Structure 1
């Protein structure tokens, strides 16, 4: 998350929330355009999956 936060700077933000009742996480990115949002969402989801969680 810190890598994405740094890359976005003042142009956007990121939030990752783990559900307290289900085995899911919500990844939200705000960025100047859709392609940038999708790029960073994909990066974070990939890191989550690399650490043993399923997408």
Structure 2
């Protein structure tokens, strides 16, 4: 199931906080990048809330 934009923002915040630690979880940077790109995509005008969703 796809996360709502609000849920995605919470995930991005948690990933950012994890990246700000001395030993972030492996792969956290990639997940953070993907999630922030998705939020940016969703904020574009006339953009569906998720890929392929109406």
TM-score band, normalised by the shorter chain? 0.3 to 0.5
TM-score, with structure 1 as normaliser = 0.38
* Structure having the higher Rg: 2
TM-score, with structure 2 as normaliser = 0.39
